[in-house]
Structure 1
Amino acid sequence: MEINAPIKARQALIVVGALAISLATSAVLLRGVITPLERLARRMDTVDLLRPGQRLPVGRGDEVGRVVAAFNQMLDRLERERQESGRRVLAAQEAERIGIARDLHDEVGQLLTGVLLQLNSISEAAPEHRAEIDQTREAVRRALDEVRRISSALRPEMLEHLGLVSALTELSTTFARISGIRVERQFDTSPPVLSADAELAVYRIAQESLTNVARHSSATHVTIALERGRDSVVLRVVDDGRGFGGAPVEHGGLRSMRERALSIGGALAIKEGSRGGVDVRLELPTARVAHGVAVD
């Protein structure tokens, strides 16, 4: 088309219209490219390797699609590496716990037992000081009980010898006695057989959950359950305390619980309970399914 100088109104309208169509077409095309890149940028900002499975859909075969696919592949690799490194760290921690527990039992425990025996001898030799000796002896007994409690928490021997349900029963009974919080247990009568690593992870997550209840919740009642899901085994620890008081900030113990869940391929959810308090739910996939729950 020829354009006169000066340009006529009709010609100006045609040029402006053509430019508008061109700009609109470019905007649509660019939007199709920018939108998935924006989603990719947001996911990069929020991705958490302790919450696996955060993938972006790949719905195109161009360069943008290949970038998104590469990002998903990178997450696959990083999650595998994080899981393996976390497993090694947890194994090292458990080995250290066992060493400390052994030292407490063999060294400190025996030393305190020796002190008790000496106090018994002194009490017989000096009956006039029996009241003071009895007070000292009681303090030593309390210290010995505390050493045994710490040693048992560091190294759950019942888990090794009698299995997960017995270990959780002992854990919750000790928790109720020390904290004064009423505990309701709901344990499957025939839980699936788990690997030693999986049983230990379930036990530690239950232990950390109960510790958090005692320290932070001001709860009067807590339910601990180990049940079969549809294709899984599920641990739940639910209390009636004050909850998070907002969005939970996960650090320290909560992050450690996620590390343990990740190390055994489980999914951990920590949220406000339906009636207040906190609801901790660990789901571990399993091929075995059965029914029957014992409640006490």
Structure 2
Amino acid sequence: MSLFWRIFLLNAAVLTSATALLLVGPVTVSTPVLLAEALILTGGLAAMLAANGVLLRVGLAPLERLTKAMTTTDLLRPGPRPQVTGHAGIADLIRTFNTMLDRLEAERALSTARALSAQEAERRRVAQELHDEVGQTLTAVLLELKRVADHAPSPVREEIRQVQETTRDSLDEIRRIARRLRPGVLEELGLISALKALVNDSGGRGRLTVRRHFDPELPTLGEEAELVIYRVAQESVTNTARHSGATTLDIHLGRTLGGVLLRIRDDGRGIGHAVEGAGIRGMRERALLIGADLDVGDHPEGGTEVRLRVPVHERRTGR
């Protein structure tokens, strides 16, 4: 039975009951209406409206739950689907909404995977060009400056030395940018070595002290999962260094029941009620690609804490 007919029949039942009571009851309506008759009719109308309201409330309760689910659903934070309850049209509507959510999440995951893959490819290309083109050009400039400095008079030689130092600093910065764009250590030496290099690079700049603890007995992770963990750590460390005003940052990576936990906490000002920026949204999108859970928020003792839980399904080998 459709929703229209259910509501129609509910109202018809109430009205029919009220009409039957008027027909078979002892109450009549005089002209003019007497006070007692008016009170009885008013009471009957109130009872009829109350009964109609209760029946409609019970019948439309699943729609209220569906409305709440529609207003709170976030594709970056998947949650439980609304329970399929009710009859006919209402149940079909909830079931259709759940199907739509499944399709939207699947399409978003596919488009996000393609976008992030293209982003990583572009990062590798830019890093390669920085290393091969700009890096080699600056290296050639350094060699040429050294040759000129060896034949220049003393006053000019000192100025050339200063230009050499500036050029060398620029070359180091370009190499640092290239490493952030394309973590070659991750591909060559693995996740732990890449995180150590990230921590050393971050701790050596500014006044941020980085403390680390990496579990050497991590389960086997795929390339995609390792890249997600590294990028989340990289974004978290970058946000801490730029925006938090923190002096200490703790980064922990260890085994948990059924997976791996990356926990990063600083002693900065926290995020409070600030709107999540593109960096955190990008972290959530990456986490969804590998079925991981990402929590970003203020720590009870102050500062910001990032938790990334990566599920790992280890293969069992039998004999």
TM-score, normalised by the number of residues in structure 2? 0.85
Match of 1:241 in 2: 268
State the Cα distance separating 1:35 from its structure 2 match: 3.4
1:64 is aligned with what amino acid? Answer: I
2:46 is aligned with what amino acid? Answer: A
- Residues 85-143 of structure 1 show CA distances to partners (whole Å, capped at 9, x for unaligned) of 10110000000000000000000000000001101111111142221111011111101
2:124 maps to 1:98: yes
**Secondary structure at 2:263 match in 1:** strand
Change in Cα spacing, 1:228 to 1:248, as seen in structure 2 (3 Å) is: farther
Q: Match for 2:162 among 132, 135, 142? A: 135
> Partners of 2:153 and 2:119 in 1: how far apart?
48
> Partners of 2:251 and 2:185 in 1: how far apart?
18
Q: Give 5+ residue unaligned stretches, structure 2.
A: 1-23
Rg larger in structure? 2
State the Cα distance separating 1:46 from its structure 2 match: 2.9
State the Cα distance separating 1:181 from its structure 2 match: 1.0
> Partners of 1:155 and 1:279 in 2: how far apart?
25
Alignment of 1:100-119 (within 5 A): 100-119=126-145
2:173 is aligned with what amino acid? Answer: E
Alignment of 1:240-279 (within 5 A): 240-244=267-271, 246-279=272-305
TM-score, normalised by the number of residues in structure 1? 0.91
2:230 maps to 1:206: no
State the Cα distance separating 1:260 from its structure 2 match: 0.8
2:214 maps to 1:176: no
- Residues 238-291 of structure 1 show CA distances to partners (whole Å, capped at 9, x for unaligned) of 0001112x31311211111111111111111101012111001111112349xx
Match of 2:30 in 1: 5
Match of 1:63 in 2: 89
> Is the 1:232–1:288 contact (alpha carbons within 8 Å) kept by the matching residues of 2?
no
Measured on the aligned residues, the alpha-carbon RMSD in Å equals 1.8
Change in Cα spacing, 1:167 to 1:5, as seen in structure 2 (3 Å) is: same
Alignment of 1:37-76 (within 5 A): 37-76=63-102
**Secondary structure at 1:144 match in 2:** helix
2:48 maps to 1:22: yes
- Residues 46-105 of structure 1 show CA distances to partners (whole Å, capped at 9, x for unaligned) of 321111124222233332222122211211111111111101100000000000000000
> Partners of 2:281 and 2:55 in 1: how far apart?
42
Moved more, 80-89 or 7-16: 7-16
2:122 is aligned with what amino acid? Answer: E
Select the structure with the greater relative contact order (CA < 8 A; seq sep ≥ 6): 1
> Is the 1:112–1:144 contact (alpha carbons within 8 Å) kept by the matching residues of 2?
yes
> Partners of 1:257 and 1:146 in 2: how far apart?
25
> Partners of 1:125 and 1:260 in 2: how far apart?
55
State the Cα distance separating 1:15 from its structure 2 match: 3.7
State the Cα distance separating 1:152 from its structure 2 match: 0.5
> Partners of 2:153 and 2:301 in 1: how far apart?
58
2:176 maps to 1:155: no
State the Cα distance separating 1:11 from its structure 2 match: 5.2
> Partners of 1:4 and 1:274 in 2: how far apart?
70
> Is the 1:209–1:280 contact (alpha carbons within 8 Å) kept by the matching residues of 2?
yes
Match of 2:18 in 1: none
